[in-house]
Chain A
Amino acid sequence: MTGSGDTSEGTSARPAGGPEVDRARTQATSAIPPFYSAPRLSTAQEISAAVISGEISARQVAEAHLERIAEVDGDVHAFNEVTAREALDAADELDRRVALGENPGPLTGVPIALKDNLCTRKIATTCSSRILAGWRPPYDATVVRRVREAGAVIIGKTNMDEFAMGSSTESSAFGATLNPLDRSRVPGGSSGGSAAAVAAGFAPVALGSDTGGSVRQPAAMCGVVGVKPTYGMVSRFGLIAFASSFDQVGPIARSVKDAAILYEVIAGHDEADSTSLDRIAPSVVSRLDDGSDKIRVGVVSELVSAASPDVASRVHEAAEVLASAGSMVDEISIPMCVYSLSAYYLLAPAEASSNLSRYDGVRYGLRVDAPSVELMNIATRSEGFGAEVKRRIMLGTYALSAGYYEAYYARAQRVRTLILQAFEAAYEHFDVLLAPTSPTTAFAIGSKVDDPLAMYMSDACTIPSNLAGHPAASVPFGTGDDGLPVGVQVLAPALAEPLMFQVAAVVEHGAPHSGATVSSQGTEQASGMKSQVLR
C-alpha cells in the first residue's frame, strides 16, 4: 500500500531464535556451563585492540561468538534472530579495512547484540510482538548506525518483553528468555535478551532500552553492567517507541569500562531526534581511574527499604567500598520516591497508548482481514498484541480520556515534576546517589506473570531516574541469599555521566568476587579455551 517493498514484507512465522520455552522443563535446569575463552579477549576493548593489531581477525571473533550462540542459545533464547551472514560479511569487510591499515573505530570487530526494538535496515525488527513479526525497517536507528560506524559487528536481535512492556522478558510473543545463570529464573526485562546475551558470552556488549529500568534491572539480574543515560543524551531515532518521554537506549556490558566505551559511541546530538540534547558525547572512559575521593554519596533510604534484606545489605556494602575510597557517605530520604511507580504507570501507558496506535494493519506488520477497516483494525490489534500490551494500552487510553485526564495524566505529570525537584534538591547535598537496582535477585519464571502489580514493583528502584530524566548505572555487586547476582545502582544528576561512570568503576572494583557472576567466572577460567577462539 505504501509502495515500499522494504516496509511491507510478509508477516511470516516467528523469526529465527530459540524454541518456545517449556516452563516445566526449565524448572529443574541450572546454570549453563562456564564458557570463557581467553580472559583477555572477553572485553570489547581487548577484542578491538586485538583485531586492529591483526592478532585475531574480526571474522574469527564473530565465528567464535556465533558458535557459542549455536551451542547455548537453544537453552537461553536470548535472540529473536541471529544475523550470522550479515555478521560474517561485516567482519570480512572490517578485516579488509584493517589489512589496509585503517582503524575503523573503538568497537572494531566487537560483536554486539541489539534489542529487537532498534531498527536495523533489512533485518527484522519485531519488538517481540506478533504485530511486527517479520517487519524489516528500511533504515537503521541512529545508535545502530553509530555502532556500525565504530566497527561493531551486529550479531543478532535480542528477545524482549513485547514492546518493552515488562520486567522479565516473559511477555515476548516468541517465548521467554531464560537467565543464563539459572534457567529456572527470568533474566529480568524488558531488555532480558540483551542482558542474557552478554551474560552468556554471545556478545561482549549489547544495547537495550530503558523506559522504567529495562536496561538496569535485567543487567542486575544477569550480573552485568547496565546504563541508562541522561534523557536526550542518546538518540531515539529508530528506537521503536514505548513511552517517548522516558525511553533511552543504553549499553549493557561485562565491565564498566566496556559500557563506557559503548556509551561514548552512541551518545551525542542527533538532528533526527528533536529531544536530543545539543551536546557532543562527554568523555567518560578517561574518568574511570579517577576514584571517588571526596565525592558525596547519598544512600536513598526509601529505595533501600523497597529491597529484600540481602539486596539491601549489598547496597550498604557498596557504600562502604566508596567510603573506604574516600567518599563521604550518608543516608538521604527522598519521600517523593514512593509515588514514582504510580506516576509512571499512568504516564508511560498514556504515551504508549498513542505510540502503539499506528499498528493498525493498514501499512505494515500483521493484518487480520475483516469486512471493514474498523473491524480490520480491531481484529489485527486483538490478535497482534499480547495481554500486557493490551493492558497498558487500555490503562493509558483511560488516563487520557475526557473527564479523567486531569485526575490521572495531568496529576501524574505534576508528581513527575515534584520527583524531579526532589532529586534536584538531593543533588544539592550529594554528587551521586546509591540504591538497589532491583528489589530482589532474579525471580522464578512464571512467578509474577499473573500478578501485574508484583511485576511492576520490580521496577520500583529504577523508575525514579526515568521520571527525572537522570542517568543511572547498575553495577554487579555480590550475590543474594540465593547465590544470584545483585546490582547496585549509581544515580547521578542530568549530564553527570562522567561522574557516574567514575563512581561505578570504584563500586565495580570493590565488588566481592562471587562464583555466580559470569564475568568473574570468566576471569577465573583456565586459558585453555583461548585456542578455541583463536583457532
Chain B
Amino acid sequence: MSVGQTSSKASKSQDASPRQPGVPVSGWEAVIGLEVHCELLTETKLFCGCRNRFGDEPNTSVCPVCLGLPGSLPVLNSRAVELAMRIGTALQCEIRPSVFHRKNYFYPDMPKDYQISQYDEPINVNGRLDLPDGTSVGITRAHLEEDTGKTTHVGESGRISGAEYSLVDYNRAGVPLVEIVSEPDIRSGQQARMYVSELRAVLVASGATDGRMEEGSLRVDANVSVRRSGVQDLGTRCEVKNLNSLRSLAKAVDFEIARQVALIESGGVVAQETRHWNESASKTMPLRSKEEAFDYRYFPEPDLVPIIPGDQWQAEAIAGMGPMPARRRERLVDALGEEAAGAAGFGSGLHDQVVTVVELGLDALVLDAVQLGADPRLTLSRAANEVAANLEGVARLSVDSFERLISLEAKGKLSATQAKAVLSEMLAKGGDPTDIAKARGFEVLASSELAGVVAGVVNSRPKEWSRFVDGDEKIVQFFVGQVMKETRGKADGKAVLAELNRLRDSSKASPD
C-alpha cells in the first residue's frame, strides 16, 4: 500500500478492533525491525568519571559534565568504545571510524537538551545475528550514545501532561548505551522475541552488558508494518515503545500486526505514529503522530573528535572475548555425537536443552564432563534441568564429581531418581557423589532382587497386567511407578522397564 491515501480513510479510528493477535494472518506479511538500547557495563559514564551503577540514591552519581552545567565538556570513555567494538565483533559488523552528533530536543531529563549520539557515521555497520531456528537477522548499525536521566511524573496520569509535578534523577544521564538497529527482517512477534533473546545472550557473552531487561539494561522499540503477501513496497510503519520484557515484546508486536491488518481490511489507513504498549490493557496506544515528531537537527558534535578504531585497539578490545552462543551451541551439538545431533533440530527437546545450557553458561561444564568420559546426552539433560534449577550451586560442583555422578547413573549404579537426589545435594552442599549415595543408602537393586519385586507387583495386579499384555502401552508407567514405590526409588527405571517387557513377551509366547 502507499502512504498517500485519502485523508477520510486515514481519519478512521486507529484502534479498529483487531483480529486475534499472534495468529498469522493469511494473505499478509508483517515487516518488523527492532531498535535495542543496551546499557554498557562500564565503571564510569560515557563522558565523565561518574559511577555507572543502577539503583543509587537519586542525583548522587552526577557531576558538572553529566548535569550539562555551563562550561562543562565531554571526554569520551575509551572503555565504552571497546565494549562497542566487542558488540560489533559479536554481531559480525564492520567496525569503522565514527563521529558523534548532537540530537537536539527539549526534555527535562536530558541535561543539555541534546543527546550526544552517533548518526550517519556509526562505529558498527552491516552485521547480522544468527538465530537458533536457523534464520538470521541483518544488523544495520550498532552505535554509541549517552542515556538520558529518568523522570517520574507525580500525579494521576503518570504521564508528563497532567502531572502535578515531576522528579528527575540524573544518575542515568550519560550512562553509555549502544543502540542496535536491525534490518526489517523479522516477520512475527515470536521471531522478534527470539531475536532479542539471542541478542541478549550475545551481548552478555561479549561482556558488554548484564542484559537485565527489568533494570532497563536492555530496552526494545519495535517498528512494525504490514503488507499484502507478495507486495514489495513496505507499508506505513508504527513505532511501538515500552516493551519491557520478552513477553510483552511478542505480545505487542502481534497485537500491532493484527491491528494494522484489521485497520486496512476495514478500509482504513495506517498512520505513521509512535505507539505505547499498555501492558495492563494488552494493547498499543498512540503516543504521538508523525506531524508531532521532532526535528532533531543533527549536526556533528564539536566538543568531541572522531573515533579511529585502529587494528591494534580493536585487537585489544576483543582480546579474551569468548565464542558467541551460536558457536557454543554448535560445539555442544557436536559433542553429542552424530546420532544425537540429528535429533537436535530446532524445536526438539534436545535443542531446547542445548539452548538452555548455553544461555546459562553451563556449556563449559557439560563439555568438560563429556571430555572426562561422561555420557553426553545424560550430562546435557542433568545440566539443563537439575543444575539449571540451582545455578548458585554450580560453584560447588567440580567437573570431576559431575562426571562421576553421570557415570554412576549411566552404569546403572544409581537410578535416575537417586542420581537427581545426589546431584541436588552436591549442588547444595558439595561433596563426592559416591559418598553421598552411600550415606543415603542408595544402591541400585541387584537384577535378581529386582526380578523378584517386579514379579510380585505383576502378580498382585492381574487386571492391569492383562491390559498391558493386550497392548495398552501406557499402563507400563503404572507398573514402573509401583516398582519404584516398592523399592523406594532404588530400582533403575530402565531395568524395570526391560524386566516388564521381558515378562510380557514371555507371557505372550506361552498361551494360557
Q: Do A and B interact with each other, yes or no?
A: yes
With beta carbons under 8 angstroms apart, the residue of B60, B69, B73, B104 that contacts A7 is B69
Query: A120's closest neighbor in chain B, by CB?
Result: B71
Instruction: Report the bound CA distance from A362 to B106 in whole Å.
Output: 11
Instruction: Mark the stretch among B109-117, B463-471, B493-501 that contacts chain A.
Output: B109-117
With beta carbons under 8 angstroms apart, the residue of A118, A237, A363 that contacts B111 is A363
The answer to whether A400 and B104 touch across the interface, beta carbons within 8 angstroms, is yes
Instruction: Mark the stretch among A56-64, A130-138, A459-467 that contacts chain B.
Output: A130-138
How many chain A residues touch the partner (CB < 8 A)? Answer: 50
Does B67 sit at the interface, judged by CB under 8 A? Answer: yes
The answer to whether B104 and A354 touch across the interface, beta carbons within 8 angstroms, is yes
Could you list which residues of chain B lie within 8 angstroms of chain A, going by C-beta atoms? 58-60, 62, 64, 67-76, 102, 104, 106, 108, 111-114, 160-161, 166, 168, 170, 295, 297-299, 302-305
Number of A-B contacts (CB under 8 A): 116
Query: Which residues of B lie under 8 Å from residue A139 when comparing CB positions?
Result: 64, 71
Min CB distance B289 to A, Å, is 16
Could you list which residues of chain A lie within 8 angstroms of chain B, going by C-beta atoms? 1-4, 7, 117-119, 125, 127, 132, 135, 137-139, 141, 236-241, 243-245, 271-275, 350-351, 353-354, 357-358, 360, 362-364, 372-374, 377, 397, 400-402, 405, 409
Query: Which residues of A lie under 8 Å from residue B161 when comparing CB positions?
Result: 372
Interface centre among B62, B106, B111, B298 (most CB of A within 10 A): B106
The answer to whether B168 and A141 touch across the interface, beta carbons within 8 angstroms, is no
The answer to whether B297 and A360 touch across the interface, beta carbons within 8 angstroms, is no
The answer to whether B295 and A402 touch across the interface, beta carbons within 8 angstroms, is yes
Instruction: Report the bound CA distance from A118 to B70 in whole Å.
Output: 10
Query: Which residues of A lie under 8 Å from residue B170 when comparing CB positions?
Result: 2
The answer to whether A240 and B71 touch across the interface, beta carbons within 8 angstroms, is yes
The answer to whether B114 and A354 touch across the interface, beta carbons within 8 angstroms, is yes
With beta carbons under 8 angstroms apart, the residue of A351, A373, A401 that contacts B166 is A373
Given A135-B70, A137-B71: A358 touches B111 (CB 8 Å cut-off) = yes
Q: Chain B contact residues: over half helix, strand or loop, or mixed?
A: loop
Query: Which residues of A lie under 8 Å from residue B70 when comparing CB positions?
Result: 119, 125, 127, 132, 135, 137, 240-241, 358, 364
The answer to whether A357 and B114 touch across the interface, beta carbons within 8 angstroms, is yes
Identify 25 residue pairs between A and B in the complex whose beta-carbon atoms are under 8 Å apart, listed by A's number.
A1-B59, A7-B64, A117-B71, A119-B70, A237-B72, A240-B71, A241-B71, A243-B302, A274-B75, A274-B304, A275-B303, A351-B302, A354-B102, A354-B114, A354-B297, A358-B112, A358-B113, A360-B106, A360-B113, A363-B67, A363-B69, A372-B160, A372-B161, A377-B106, A402-B297
Min CB distance A272 to B, Å, is 6
Query: Which residues of A lie under 8 Å from residue B111 when comparing CB positions?
Result: 358, 363
- Closest 6 A-B residue pairs measured CB to CB? A357-B113, A244-B302, A400-B297, A245-B302, A119-B71, A3-B59
Query: A351's closest neighbor in chain B, by CB?
Result: B302
Query: Which residues of A lie under 8 Å from residue B298 when comparing CB positions?
Result: 400
Instruction: Report the bound CA distance from A343 to B114 in whole Å.
Output: 23
Instruction: Report the bound CA distance from A353 to B106 in whole Å.
Output: 12
Given A274-B305, A357-B113, A397-B297: A2 touches B71 (CB 8 Å cut-off) = no
Instruction: Report the bound CA distance from A447 to B113 in whole Å.
Output: 36
Query: A239's closest neighbor in chain B, by CB?
Result: B71
Min CB distance A209 to B, Å, is 11
The answer to whether B299 and A272 touch across the interface, beta carbons within 8 angstroms, is no
Query: B166's closest neighbor in chain A, by CB?
Result: A373
